[in-house]
Structure 1
Amino acid sequence: MTKMKAETTPTKDAGPSMGRRRFLTGAAVATAGTLAMPQISRAETINWRFQSTWPQQDFFHENAAEYVRMVNQMSGGRLNMELLPAGAVVGALEVQDAVIAGALDGAHGVTAYWYGKNKAASLFGTPPAFGWDANQFLGWFYQGGGEALYNELLQDVLGLNVTGYLTGPMPTQALGWFRSEISGVGDIEGLRYRTVGLAADLMNELGASVTILGGPDIVPSLDRGVIDAAEFNNPTSDRILGFYDVASNWYHQSYHQDCEAFEIVLNKSNVDNLPEELQAILRYAAFAVSSDMYWKAQVRYPADYEWLETEGGVTMHLTPQEILDAQLDAWDTVIENSTQDEFFNRVIESQKEFAQKAVAYHLIATTPKEPAYRHFFGELPLSRRS
């Protein structure tokens, strides 16, 4: 691809609130009777193209839009990011290459989409099920050494001209959408199943035939019978994308993607050329949109779950315990098969050291939630005992 540089265009420079001069077509127009104006420096607007890996109607594209809005607003117009949906420039699985080449200045996706370059990439998006949740995973990234390892992978191990941030904690993802009911591992064997990243290796260990697809391609593939089952992410996204039209059985709880976070990937040269205050805005906007998405999910996910069950005709299931147990065993194999790679092994050891302490404290310090729920609200909507 031809390398494209970020464009710069002049912006209007506002003077003091009293006696403000307006600039028309780039020229200063002085008010009659006033003194000549002093020379005023003009700021530049830096224009970036930023593509998401999600369909325009998806909840995740909305998250990307919020990030862009925050950056544009906090920069006061000095950095103007234009948001594009998946496929506008490149497909969902190709955005990192487009950012490297300069065809895009940045993108919103997940690291699992480029784990083909190095399997350790998935550790920064869909890590093993060490008992942690997505907020604890982000704690490892920003406070436990993960960010330094992420940049080491990108810039030193792979030699790529990119940098980025993790954002948007995602809760445990469902095992997925199935046309027929499943009762154990035997029903997974030979199943044509969609997932991404190390979850693909894990489901292969359970006997599935895994196909890696970007978000926009999943439902059409299910509809045409190219795949038999698939997971994407959450009730809101899955409802918007129309999974309930092509499969009626949805299995909740799984260790294949027990926690996940988004990636905001940026062209490193462009970031390095920004003033420090704009670099800070890019980083802190990633923190802010992380909370924004998590809080919205507390309202949106339960409402869309209820709609899918009551209006969408979906039969809700809990994943059989036999499959959950097999997934944990499969994680052992996936990790063992990859730890001969020195960098992968270092990331795993860093994550395990963090999770062992953080999760242990959480389990000790946090009161069980299910008894409190049952005390005030009664039985859970789904129960293994029902």
Structure 2
Amino acid sequence: MKRRTQIEGRTSRRKFLGGAAMAGVAMVAAPKVVRAQGPISMRWQSTWPSKDIFHEFALDFAKKVNDMTGGDLKIEVLPAGAVVPAFGLLDAVSQGTLDGGHGVVVYHYGKQAALALWGSGPGFAMDANMLLAWHKYGGGKELLAKLYESIGANVVSLLYGPMPTQPLGWFKKPVAKPEDLQGLKFRTVGISIDVFTGLGAAVNALPGGEIVAALDRGLIDAAEFNNASSDRVLGFPDVSKICMLQSYHQNAEQFEVLFNKQRYDGLPEQMKAVITNAVEAASADMSWKAIDRYSRDYLEMQTVDKVKFYKTPEAILKKQMEVYDEVVKKKAAENPLFKEILESQIAFAERATRWEQDTVVGRRLAFDHYFGQEGVAKDL
């Protein structure tokens, strides 16, 4: 009996050691399987000059991906013009000249007019965050993929980063009525080209890095770009001291992350999940950073650069919408996909903006209470 117990004990020990050895092999081998090919490197380009805060946003996104993958994916982001011109990004990524890029959808407007619906116009009373809600949950993502497929773009597009309402632009003198825009040589992009043309301007769609030089040389009379931080660092206050705030020409826009489709499809599923979550993390971080930096530069342009800011008159805002309506009616009649996207946006906007208007309290009353002429914030 004792001998039998000893034999069974040796047998059990051999089984245990054998199982442990197999487990050890699995534990050692697993990391080699995952990292057999080593880190994946990608070369990207943004559509922004290196000094622009938008290029900083592109670098922020890449860093999040690089950090979250533990270095398994390394994205290098070059500034506009390093490989291709800013407006050449879509072709470069689609053809594999670049692995990916950072820009805005409306920069591809020349490929298909419907692409401008992700950034140009009044947004049917939606702000940029609501437009992103439509994109993610209201069918926009699927429509954009369909749109890119229709023009043969070999890309995967991920949108993020809701932008605040953009200024009407920089002028030699304040504009008081729609007629003041007639005959002006003006820079803008997307459907805004059609809107400002309808308002009587002569439009030139220049990339961001070329605008200030064109203003300085008199090649254009006025221009819009995006925000206080970008406008300041690009040098707008050096060539103009008049900026008109608030406009419907680009009320709701966002950034776009582009991947070459083959490069993206070849990534491990877990890495794709990291990228998807990095996009959303970057979206929130960009929004918070924008509030901090834009407000600082807005104040400093007034106190240091001596820029005078004016609110765009309501007459111009109303005229913008009237012209925009005519532009999109015409394009929808000519372009079935444009019409499909337009109808999808309007259906979502009617529901979402009605909820917002009925639910969200206006902040102007609170601003005046705390920071107006008789504001009480100083007494708190």
- Residue from 360, 373, 378 that aligns with 2:372: 378
User: Is 1:314 the equivalent of 2:296?
Assistant: no
Report the counterpart of residue 192 of structure 1 in structure 2: 185
Task: Give a deviation string over 1:146-182, Cα, whole Å, max 9, x none.
Answer: 0000000012x11221111111100110000001222
User: Quick check: 1:129–1:258 contact (8 Å CA) kept in 2?
Assistant: yes
> How large is the RMSD of aligned CA atoms in angstroms?
1.6
**Structure 1 residue 129, shift from structure 2 partner:** 3.1
Sort the Cα spacing of 1:189 and 1:38 in 2 relative to 1 into closer, same or farther, 3 A: closer
User: Is 1:235 the equivalent of 2:228?
Assistant: yes
Structure 2 counterpart of 1:163, which letter? V
**Structure 1 residue 247, shift from structure 2 partner:** 1.0
**Structure 1 residue 269, shift from structure 2 partner:** 1.0
**Structure 1 residue 111, shift from structure 2 partner:** 0.9
**SS of equivalent residue, structure 2 residue 226:** coil
Structure 2 counterpart of 1:330, which letter? V
Structure 2, unaligned stretches of length 5 or more? 1-26, 376-380
- Residue from 162, 181, 200 that aligns with 1:207: 200
User: Is 1:111 the equivalent of 2:102?
Assistant: no
**Structure 1 residue 127, shift from structure 2 partner:** 4.7
- Residue from 287, 290, 293 that aligns with 2:283: 290
**SS of equivalent residue, structure 2 residue 89:** helix
User: Is 1:255 the equivalent of 2:248?
Assistant: yes
Q: Distance in 1 between matches of 2:255 and 2:120?
A: 10
**Structure 1 residue 320, shift from structure 2 partner:** 1.5
Structure 2 counterpart of 1:131, which letter? A
- Residue from 259, 272, 277 that aligns with 2:270: 277
**Structure 1 residue 379, shift from structure 2 partner:** 4.4
User: Quick check: 1:106–1:265 contact (8 Å CA) kept in 2?
Assistant: yes
**Structure 1 residue 366, shift from structure 2 partner:** 0.9
**Structure 1 residue 310, shift from structure 2 partner:** 1.1
Name the larger-Rg structure. 2
User: Is 1:160 the equivalent of 2:153?
Assistant: yes
Report the counterpart of residue 74 of structure 1 in structure 2: 68
Task: Give a deviation string over 1:296-327, Cα, whole Å, max 9, x none.
Answer: 11211111111101110111111111111100
User: Quick check: 1:131–1:359 contact (8 Å CA) kept in 2?
Assistant: yes
Sort the Cα spacing of 1:38 and 1:291 in 2 relative to 1 into closer, same or farther, 3 A: closer
Q: Distance in 2 between matches of 1:133 and 1:38?
A: 52
Q: Distance in 2 between matches of 1:278 and 1:380?
A: 54
User: Is 1:94 the equivalent of 2:77?
Assistant: no
Structure 2 counterpart of 1:175, which letter? L
Report the counterpart of residue 23 of structure 2 in structure 1: none
Report the counterpart of residue 246 of structure 1 in structure 2: 239
Sort the Cα spacing of 1:235 and 1:71 in 2 relative to 1 into closer, same or farther, 3 A: same
- Residue from 336, 339, 347 that aligns with 1:345: 339
Q: Distance in 1 between matches of 2:75 and 2:162?
A: 23
Report the counterpart of residue 16 of structure 1 in structure 2: none
**Structure 1 residue 83, shift from structure 2 partner:** 1.0
- Residue from 117, 124, 132 that aligns with 1:130: 124
Q: Distance in 2 between matches of 1:337 and 1:101?
A: 32
Task: Give a deviation string over 1:44-76, Cα, whole Å, max 9, x none.
Answer: 211100111111111111100011001111111
User: Is 1:359 the equivalent of 2:331?
Assistant: no
User: Quick check: 1:125–1:262 contact (8 Å CA) kept in 2?
Assistant: no
Q: Distance in 2 between matches of 1:216 and 1:380?
A: 42
User: Quick check: 1:129–1:328 contact (8 Å CA) kept in 2?
Assistant: no
Structure 2 counterpart of 1:102, which letter? G
Report the counterpart of residue 58 of structure 1 in structure 2: 52
Q: Distance in 2 between matches of 1:303 and 1:79?
A: 34
Sort the Cα spacing of 1:217 and 1:368 in 2 relative to 1 into closer, same or farther, 3 A: same
**Structure 1 residue 38, shift from structure 2 partner:** 6.7
Sort the Cα spacing of 1:248 and 1:83 in 2 relative to 1 into closer, same or farther, 3 A: same
Task: Give a deviation string over 1:259-306, Cα, whole Å, max 9, x none.
Answer: 110111110111111111111122221111111010011211111111
User: Quick check: 2:43–2:77 contact (8 Å CA) kept in 1?
Assistant: yes
User: Quick check: 2:90–2:153 contact (8 Å CA) kept in 1?
Assistant: no
User: Quick check: 1:99–1:162 contact (8 Å CA) kept in 2?
Assistant: yes
User: Is 1:47 the equivalent of 2:37?
Assistant: no
Superposition pairs of residues 220-231 of structure 1, within 5 angstroms = 220-231=213-224
Q: Distance in 2 between matches of 1:380 and 1:153?
A: 52
Structure 1, unaligned stretches of length 5 or more? 1-36, 382-386
Q: Distance in 1 between matches of 2:73 and 2:118?
A: 27
Report the counterpart of residue 146 of structure 1 in structure 2: 140
User: Quick check: 1:126–1:261 contact (8 Å CA) kept in 2?
Assistant: no
**SS of equivalent residue, structure 1 residue 112:** helix
Greater fraction of residues in helix: 2
User: Quick check: 2:166–2:245 contact (8 Å CA) kept in 1?
Assistant: yes
The sequence identity of aligned pairs, in percent, is 45
Sort the Cα spacing of 1:372 and 1:101 in 2 relative to 1 into closer, same or farther, 3 A: same
Report the counterpart of residue 167 of structure 2 in structure 1: 174
Question: What is the TM-score of this pair, normalised by structure 2?
Answer: 0.88
Structure 2 counterpart of 1:378, which letter? G
Structure 1 counterpart of 2:44, which letter? F
Report the counterpart of residue 21 of structure 1 in structure 2: none
User: Is 1:84 the equivalent of 2:78?
Assistant: yes
Aligned residues: 344
Q: Distance in 2 between matches of 1:355 and 1:180?
A: 35
**SS of equivalent residue, structure 1 residue 61:** helix
Report the counterpart of residue 324 of structure 1 in structure 2: 317
